[in-house]
Chain A
Amino acid sequence: MSDPGASAALTVEALKGLGMTHALIIPDSESRLLFDRLTSDDDVTVISPTREGESIAIAAGLWTGGARPYVVIQNTGLMEAGDALRGCGLGPRIPLRLVVGWRGYVGAQQGRAPIDSAFTYTEPLLAAWGIPSWHLLSDDDLGALAEMDRTAAATSSPAAVVTGYAFRP
């Protein structure tokens, strides 16, 4: 079992291997090192909008224009972006690729009370939207990115990986 948290460097390489052209990312505590890695990579265009609904809509426009965007989004932002995800992903069947930060996961695993409601509602919310998801908890799970990518393409609908720990370098 690898150390908790996926490597930001390996994650970026995996996403580039899948054809990533743009990354939509608003920094959060868990994805901080992924943000640093993405912004230092000349092969990827990084866009940091002001709110996650913008990320979703910009990604939808990029995909419609033929690009291959990935949206890195904390679970709290995903909840805020619900209408954009409905309108720019689920309804029009745009295969948005989501890397969802699971705020509250570590505390919940350690049994720390109170449990963060952002943790509690993340997977039920994805399930309610019918968005298939895979865990990315360590480098052992990096294959989940390709699985998510294949599923988004095959279903022409959003798919997600959910990252439980902060990214490592």
Chain B
Amino acid sequence: MIERLDLFRSLAARRTDEVVVMTMSATLQWPQVSDHPLDFDFLAFGMGHASDFGLGLALARPERRTIVWKGDGGLLMSLGSLVTLGRYGPENLVVLLLENRTYEMTGGQPLPPGADFAALARAAGVEGGGATGRGTVARLESLEAFEAALGALLTEPGPHFVVLPVATRHPLPPVQHTDHAGRVRALRRALGVE
């Protein structure tokens, strides 16, 4: 298991002008390591759809990379999105799946134990797929493995789908639902489209 906050610190240290979309418990911890105009908090924007939103964003802004932190519970709510990723995922999209095997935000209820998310992504056509035919799928089980892969994730053509088994020993701060319309306008301003 990787400590999730360490994972976040690792990406935040290397990230430059990429959009970072996050949802659910990632929205509570990512701000502890990053305060960037291209951070986008997707919490309460639609159950399971963070990577769909990221796919649209990546298609609209091909000049920069879009990175999505998404949970395994959320993926179960939109498993078909893997097939869409395998068909249309652009080269500048990176989906980082935080696999904690629980519905963490609602109290840690367990997920169905048998699902292999990397295998599901491969079966959905992500590996060797996407719009580029160069999609990748990986399961990285340590912080060192993630840091070793990060350079390619930030530069090589994707789409990339990475499963990261995580846990956290840090208490989560309380949820603060902020202005949803304001979040979208702030991101559009940061992207120069508004």
Query: Which of chain B's residues has its CB closest to A88's CB?
Result: B46
Could you tell me the distance between the alpha carbons of A57 and B56 in the complex, rounded to whole angstroms?
Answer: 8
* Residue total for B at the interface (Cβ-Cβ under 8 A): 30
A87–B184 contact, CB under 8 A?
A: no
| Interface status of B120 (Cβ within 8 A of chain A) | no
Query: Which of chain B's residues has its CB closest to A66's CB?
Result: B193
Stretch of A10-18, A43-51, A104-112, A128-136 contacting B (4+ beta carbons < 8 Å):
A43-51
Query: Which of chain B's residues has its CB closest to A45's CB?
Result: B59
Chain B residue numbers with a CB within 8 Å of A63 are: 56, 60
Chain A residue numbers with a CB within 8 Å of B193 are: 64-66
In A55-92, which residues have CB < 8 Å from any B CB? 56-67, 69, 83-84, 86-88, 91-92
Nearest-neighbour CB distance to chain A for B45, whole angstroms, equals 4
Most buried by A among B44, B52, B59, B78: B52
| Interface status of A54 (Cβ within 8 A of chain B) | yes
A87–B59 contact, CB under 8 A?
A: no
Query: Which of chain A's residues has its CB closest to B45's CB?
Result: A87
| Interface status of A97 (Cβ within 8 A of chain B) | no
Nearest-neighbour CB distance to chain A for B186, whole angstroms, equals 10
A91–B180 contact, CB under 8 A?
A: yes
Could you tell me the distance between the alpha carbons of A142 and B163 in the complex, rounded to whole angstroms?
Answer: 47
* Residue total for A at the interface (Cβ-Cβ under 8 A): 31
Query: Which of chain B's residues has its CB closest to A65's CB?
Result: B60
Q: Indicate whether A56 sits within 8 Å of B46 (C-beta atoms), given known contacts A61-B56, A65-B56, A69-B56.
A: yes
In B50-102, which residues have CB < 8 Å from any A CB? 52-61, 78, 80-81, 83-84, 88
B60–A62 contact, CB under 8 A?
A: yes
Query: Which of chain A's residues has its CB closest to B68's CB?
Result: A61
Could you tell me the distance between the alpha carbons of A59 and B59 in the complex, rounded to whole angstroms?
Answer: 10
Chain B residue numbers with a CB within 8 Å of A5 are: none
Query: Which of chain B's residues has its CB closest to A21's CB?
Result: B60
List chain A positions with a Cβ less than 8 A from chain B: 22, 45, 47, 49-51, 53-54, 56-67, 69, 83-84, 86-88, 91-94, 156
